[in-house]
Every structure is written in structure tokens, then in C-alpha cells.
Amino acid sequence: MNKNILDRIVAETGVPDLVEILSERLAASDLNSLLLEVFSRKTSQITPAELLRTYRQNRFVQPAQVDFVGFTEFCLDWLKSAQIVGFQPLQLSPVSPLGTCSALGTVHQNKVVSALRGTEVTADATNVLALESVVRRQAQGFPVEPTHFSVVHRHVRAQEIPKVPGFSAHFSILGLTSAGRDTGSFDFEKENLWRQAKFYKTYFEENLGISPVKVRLKSLDAEGEENRLFQAVLSFLQKTEPGWEIEVIESKQVEQEYYQRLQFKVVIPGFGGQELEIADGGFTDWTQRLSGNRKERLLISGMGLELLYKMLNSKVWK
């Protein structure tokens, strides 16, 4: 929140340590009870006319500008195709535990729609799939066999968006996760990045008739260290898929990087001959941190499914 706004609220209430009291001294359950009462009183003052005005103005509540039936069929086909190659589809809750994005990733909580009862509106489904992966894998004693999930989920993001047609505070994505164990020689990393990249590439080429599809690999090198993971994955892909076009980009791992050691992108032809990075993914340490087990590994990827659907059905694309 803007510091000027906080200063004004503190001045008006006459409680200089108001934020500290609410965020650090109150138990989460007590804060929830307090906020429930606050919102109950606030909503009791809302008139139907005010409600309609808010509906017209609030960017979070507007319907999606998409052919719902056609888009739903499009989503279902992606999920069916992912299921065929081993990704179990999940229907996630619209909300996730408070801090799901900020505690795991690099997303500031201000970019997430925080809610009551210890929840937030889901802003990144792959974070939730990481949680579900740990719950299931922990119950099974962390098996060597990977756990693969797929999801189509409607994300809600709180950051400002361009006020132009086509941009929305909520949008649907396709997410894939592969959670497993470190068995040595980067076998998990090699096999599962190949699995996810191959799924995207095959769907675009065979189901949508879009080609050429390029796989872009970006190394995220730690200072003074050889990126053995990246080299192992690159060599494996070149050997396993000699016909693939693979572009390599070398870079340094920076602080607060979303992925670790490697990022991959799926690149398709875009408007006017321009390339379009339509999907991306990489390795994270989320399952390690959640489980406290350093042998756990996780590969995530995602794609703007709604954006792709709109592009495929636009006059410009056709």
C-alpha cells in the first residue's frame, strides 16, 4: 500500500502502531474475526444502486470477453491431450492459502487479491499444484515415480492492467507440473523437461497445425559455477530429439529469479512473421521448501490459454 495512505490512516485513527497491531500482535484467527465484522458492517451500508455502480467500474468482476462454449471445448481438448501423456487433470478451488504466491515465488502480495479466512484468490495455479504434489507425495513416502498434474484455471491478478479492449484482471491459463525425486545424473530434469516441451510442441504441430515450433532454453548460471543441469538437459534433448529446433540463451541467475538453473520457452510463429513465446517453464525449489526434503524436484510450466484462443480466432491471425 502507498505509504502516504498508511500515514493518513494512522493520523486519522490516532493509533501510531496500527499496522503493527493488526499484522503482528493479533493472532490470525482474531484478525479474521475482526475483518469479518468490519466487512459485515460495510456491506450492510451498500445500496443496490451502489452495487450496480461498483459492478460497472470494478475491473475484477467483469465477464470475460470470450466465446465461452468454444473456449471451454478448447480447454477440454488441451486437458484430454495432457491426460493421454500422463498429466492428471485437477479442478482447483478458486482460492488458495494466504501467501501461496508470495511465500513460494517472487510475487508481492499486493499483486494478489487477498481474502478472509486465511485465503487468497488464486493467482498462480502452479503454486497450488506444488502444494498438492507435496501432500500426495508425502503420504506415499516420496516415491521415485513422478507425480504429473495439469490444470486449466482462471487466474486473478491485482496489478494494474492497460485500459484497452482484450486486457482483463482475470484470465485462463494451462498449467503443468512434474514433481519427483533426484535419482542422480539429472535424470528427473532431463526426462521431465523433455516430456513437457514435447507435449506443447506436439499439440501445436499436430492438433493446431502450427509450425515451426521452437524450444528456447535459457541457462540461469550461478556466479562462478558450471551449470551442469543446463548442459545435461540440452545434451539430452539434442540426442533424443535431433530434429527439434533448439535455441540456447546464456544468462546469469539473478536474485529473486522465478526459476532455478534453467528456463524453457515454447516459441511459435506470431502475427506478421514475428515469433511468439507462448509457453514457458522451469525448475523451482518449491516442493523442497514445502516438504523439507532436499531430494524432491519440481518442474512447472504454463501457457496463456485464453490469449492463444483469442489469437487463433482473430482475423489478424487468420
Return residue ranges of the chain for CATH 3.30.930.10. 68-312
Tell me the β-bridge partners of 155: 171
- Global confidence as pTM: 0.93
Q: Are 195 and 179 in contact (CB under 8 A)?
A: no
DSSP state letters, 126-168: HHHHHHHHHHHHHHTT--SS-EEEEEEEEEE--S---SSTT--
Q: Give the CATH number of domain 68-312; options: 3.90.110.10, 1.10.1660.10, 3.30.930.10, 2.60.120.650.
A: 3.30.930.10
Averaged pLDDT, 142-171: 88
Mean pLDDT (the chain) is: 93
- 206-256 per-position pLDDT tens digit: 999 999 999 999 999 888 889 999 999 999 999 999 999 999 998 877 765
Residue 164 has pLDDT above 80, yes or no: no
Strand partners of residue 191: none
Average the pLDDT over each of 2-11, 71-80, 110-119, 241-250 and give the range with the smallest value.
Answer: 2-11
pLDDT tens profile 264-313: 999 999 877 789 999 999 999 999 999 999 999 999 999 999 999 999 99
Q: What is the mean pLDDT of residues 147-175?
A: 87
Q: Which of 116, 109, 114, 112 is nearest to 30 (CA)?
A: 116
β-strand pairing of 245-252 with 170-181 = unpaired
Residue 137 CB: number of other CB atoms within 10 A?
21
Dist CA 259 CA 2 (whole Å) = 29
